[in-house]
Amino acid sequence: MSSFQSWLLIMSLRLTEGCQNFWRQFTLKMREERGDVPGWTKIFGYYMKKPPAMKLRAFLTVAS
């Protein structure tokens, strides 16, 4: 069981790192095309710094 948990942890960390790298490249590409960062990327960055309950509330507001 502990080997499965360590594998799961490693995979989640790799996935998180991959998402962060993708997001970083995507925002750089958006800056190159438009010269600035769109408002929704600023909003996303703002909410990623907030507590989990606030992130969930923001997601549910956008999803509805």
Count: domains in the chain: 1
More confident residue, 49 or 24: 24
For residue 50, the enclosing domain spans: 2-63
How buried is residue 41: exposed, middle or buried, by Cβ count under 10 Å (0-12/13-18/19+)?
Answer: middle
- Rounded-to-integer distance, Cα 53 and Cα 15, Å: 22
Q: What is the pTM of this model?
A: 0.42
Note the pLDDT of residue 22.
84
Question: How many helical (H) and strand (E) elements, i.e. helices and strands, does the chain have?
Answer: 3, 0
* 26-61 pLDDT tens trace: 777 666 555 555 566 666 676 666 666 666 676 667
User: Residue 16: pLDDT band by 50, 70, 90 thresholds?
Assistant: confident
